[in-house]
Structure 1
């Protein structure tokens, strides 16, 4: 066996900048790279600079290495190994780093930070799906022109699912549907008749008779949905992530609201089969989200991802079914899945791929195959401010929908272009938000979206 050359030059350290450095995702990344020899934070950007310093100290970074900087001269004067902590993302323009991890979740600020990084010759790992849903195509084009990498980050569901789909595609598998689980499982306790979703619990005793899928799959799924109607299962973040996946794979939503079936993991191959075969899909090539139904002692899907394929040779797949793989009762479909996403714990893989190999998650440039848009939940009068907030980055008063871009109105407004704008006219309940409905959209985001629309 050939040994390792002890005289070989070790690979150079990789320095990263991180926006949204005080957030939950950022914490997982900072905690992980503290354990890694090659990856080091160089610039940490967050409006709460002092809170960022406190977080890093809590994680174990040396306090003497952290420097709050308010101007470009302070950033450029830092010694090797010191970390600039900044509140102004504009200071990234003169900072020394290899790759930016954008994790603000703010459409306008995140897009501006990513564009600054690209224009100054830095790679970008995009974690902010809100940014990607509006400006991702434009930013990816700018990165290619500049010769740098723009990519979703491994560890978040979009990148994980894109990679999982590409794996199936390279193997020649006939993909019918791809997707992920919703953020939180539905955990049903038969002894109490109650179902829990994170910190919410409701009575749902009828689920005891609905644990098996039955012969009529759509009917069982409809009954389960009624049983858990008291829980909010969908989230804008889910639609946003599936939009990013659609734009990087070419697969599109089957229905604009997504199906969100309440399903057990072992049922996914039956659920995501075509309607003509007893499933829920109107056609092949769909992206979707499901709500995990499980018992307390059963393992979680943990926000994982799945690909449903047609099986092909029945003998091969019967053998795989015997080994415990999820195959439909008809034997015509199978589900391949990864039951986890580890957020920033895995994202270092994307940083190293970008810097070492100039490699993105997918070799295909993104294009607008789907549009994350919004429908008014209620009558919204002129002058309404479309505020964005909450853990799932919902836009108040607006329901997210994911449209097949080939069928969407040309003037449909992206949800996160509409966020934080004021309505220029009344929008009735159920109406799709249009570009002309927005009185004061961000000029930079609007330019990015107009660039995206040139593909259609």
Structure 2
């Protein structure tokens, strides 16, 4: 790794990488906390619908807001200060900007900001994974055509998993499964913003103090965020989605290679080369021993033919934990630091011209499923809300069923009654034509024929 050296060289030369942050929520705040102490990065501006919220994010993360703020982008460029604005378009167009960090969490806004940034020749670090899963293959293709980088955000689990998959393949190993851990029970699919903080062991007051959004954090618990992140990994690392959603098997770090292997080998996977999320809870609610709730992993194998005997012997000689056959093993990282690690993506895009994970395929999709019986005329409230949760499916299955993507299940009015657990289709809702729907249709047209059955 030489990104720190390259950043220091830019700092010494007085040519810092100039960054624009769109969205001053939790993820953006975590990035601000470390950007402040990273030589070679200059926060040119923050765009947020609430300027007081953006200022509060600076103050909360250790900045002297009065000293840091500029009154114009020209002043910010000259002085190294930061401009706060409600106008994301103005930030993207500001002179001298190198990298746009999109952290709004809104898929339609995220996609629009990415398109605008690409048109202005800015690199894009897409923190809004919902936008990436909805239209990411198309955004990445447009960025490549424009000669700029479109990247996942390091610190978020998809980018970290893609890095581990890349490591395994570069070493010549076959990737069997990759993913992350989470706290999961089947009942969590019914979680709502009213019940979420008890699942995290927090009071509403503690959540508010930490700047946590109930609907966003509810999507972590109800299975939606896991589905979205696994879809992002499948589409970036060319892996498969399970045929009927994530299994969420209870699994500790010592059992990754045993549980996350194909069924014919004694594991739970339909096939090799897939994504999966493991639970930190047994189905009866007991904690899993040495769980991976906050971490990421990759399960891999050496050449499965007899010619791989030497590598498998090396596994044993060097104390590598394997399944009972000695064929499958795993590496894991117990934590991810979310926005605190995002500077790696910014530096990689600006200084190396390389993404930290980029969507190239349309292997997986996330569709809206009813949390409870829904009635005609009800309005869906999208990811993490009261009405639907997001289920991972192969993209081909989603398209064949005419399923409604979870990223478009906001403000859609039902045309018929929907049973609990039923996948909601495009034909089941009334939605107004919009730029994001047209972009999604363009993505489907461009990439559905190229869906890859990964053999990683």
Q: Structure 1 or 2: larger helix share?
A: 2
Q: Which residue of 2 aligns with 1:44?
A: 46
Instruction: Give runs of aligned pairs for residues 42-121 of structure 1, distance below 5 A.
Output: 42-67=44-69, 74-76=72-74, 78=76, 79-96=78-95, 97-121=97-121
Tell me, in whole angstroms, the C-alpha distance in 2 between the residues paired with 1:377 and 1:184: 16
Shift of 1:305: 1.5
Give 5+ residue unaligned stretches, structure 2: 186-197, 203-219, 449-456
Instruction: Give runs of aligned pairs for residues 112-191 of structure 1, distance below 5 A.
Output: 112-182=112-182
Q: Which residue of 1 aligns with 2:299?
A: 308
Which of the residues 409, 413, 425 maps onto 2:399? Answer: 409
Query: Is the aligned partner of 1:15 residue 2:18?
Result: yes
Query: Is the aligned partner of 1:340 residue 2:330?
Result: no
SS in 1 for 2:389: strand
SS in 1 for 2:430: coil
Query: Is the aligned partner of 1:370 residue 2:364?
Result: yes
Give 5+ residue unaligned stretches, structure 1: 186-195, 201-231
SS in 2 for 1:252: coil
Contact 1:174 1:310 in 2 (8 A): yes
Q: Which residue of 2 aligns with 1:28?
A: 30
Contact 2:20 2:92 in 1 (8 A): no
Deviates more, 1:308-317 or 1:274-283: 308-317
> Which string of whole-angstrom CA distances, capped at 9 and with x for unpartnered residues, describes residues 301-342 of structure 1?
362221112244445435434644321022121112222211
Shift of 1:128: 0.8
Instruction: Give runs of aligned pairs for residues 275-314 of structure 1, distance below 5 A.
Output: 275-292=263-280, 301=292, 303-312=294-303, 313-314=308-309
Tell me, in whole angstroms, the C-alpha distance in 2 between the residues paired with 1:316 and 1:166: 19
Query: Would the alpha carbon gap of residues 19 and 426 (structure 1) be closer, same or farther in structure 2, given more than 3 Å must change?
Result: same
Contact 1:309 1:333 in 2 (8 A): yes
Tell me, in whole angstroms, the C-alpha distance in 1 between the residues paired with 2:9 and 2:102: 36
Q: Which residue of 1 aligns with 2:435?
A: 444
Shift of 1:173: 0.8
SS in 1 for 2:60: helix
Query: Would the alpha carbon gap of residues 402 and 381 (structure 1) be closer, same or farther in structure 2, given more than 3 Å must change?
Result: same
Which of the residues 221, 224, 231 maps onto 1:236? Answer: 224
- Structure-1-length-normalised TM-score: 0.80
SS in 1 for 2:267: coil
> Which string of whole-angstrom CA distances, capped at 9 and with x for unpartnered residues, describes residues 253-310 of structure 1?
2243201011111011110111112111121111000013599998663622211122
Shift of 1:57: 2.4
Tell me, in whole angstroms, the C-alpha distance in 1 between the residues paired with 2:433 and 2:410: 10
SS in 2 for 1:401: strand
SS in 1 for 2:228: helix
Contact 1:234 1:260 in 2 (8 A): no
Contact 1:134 1:416 in 2 (8 A): yes
Q: Which residue of 1 aligns with 2:213?
A: none
Shift of 1:10: 3.4
SS in 2 for 1:420: strand
> Which string of whole-angstrom CA distances, capped at 9 and with x for unpartnered residues, describes residues 207-252 of structure 1?
xxxxxxxxxxxxxxxxxxxxxxxxx965211110011111112212
Shift of 1:46: 1.8
- Structure with higher Rg: it is 1
Aligned Cα root-mean-square deviation (Å): 2.9
Query: Would the alpha carbon gap of residues 7 and 345 (structure 1) be closer, same or farther in structure 2, given more than 3 Å must change?
Result: closer
Shift of 1:92: 2.4
Tell me, in whole angstroms, the C-alpha distance in 2 between the residues paired with 1:345 and 1:7: 22
- Structure-2-length-normalised TM-score: 0.80
Tell me, in whole angstroms, the C-alpha distance in 1 between the residues paired with 2:184 and 2:27: 17
Contact 2:36 2:63 in 1 (8 A): yes
SS in 1 for 2:154: coil
Shift of 1:184: 7.9
Q: Which residue of 2 aligns with 1:258?
A: 246
Query: Would the alpha carbon gap of residues 251 and 11 (structure 1) be closer, same or farther in structure 2, given more than 3 Å must change?
Result: farther
Contact 2:363 2:395 in 1 (8 A): yes
> Which string of whole-angstrom CA distances, capped at 9 and with x for unpartnered residues, describes residues 26-81 of structure 1?
12211111111111211112222112212312333233344487xxxx44454431
Contact 2:132 2:359 in 1 (8 A): no
Tell me, in whole angstroms, the C-alpha distance in 2 between the residues paired with 1:7 and 1:347: 19
Query: Would the alpha carbon gap of residues 132 and 63 (structure 1) be closer, same or farther in structure 2, given more than 3 Å must change?
Result: same
Shift of 1:422: 2.2
Count of residue pairs the alignment pairs up: 401
Tell me, in whole angstroms, the C-alpha distance in 2 between the residues paired with 1:250 and 1:14: 31
Tell me, in whole angstroms, the C-alpha distance in 2 between the residues paired with 1:87 and 1:17: 12
SS in 2 for 1:309: strand
Shift of 1:168: 1.0
Tell me, in whole angstroms, the C-alpha distance in 1 between the residues paired with 2:231 and 2:262: 22
Contact 2:137 2:360 in 1 (8 A): yes
Q: Which residue of 2 aligns with 1:228?
A: none
Shift of 1:429: 3.3
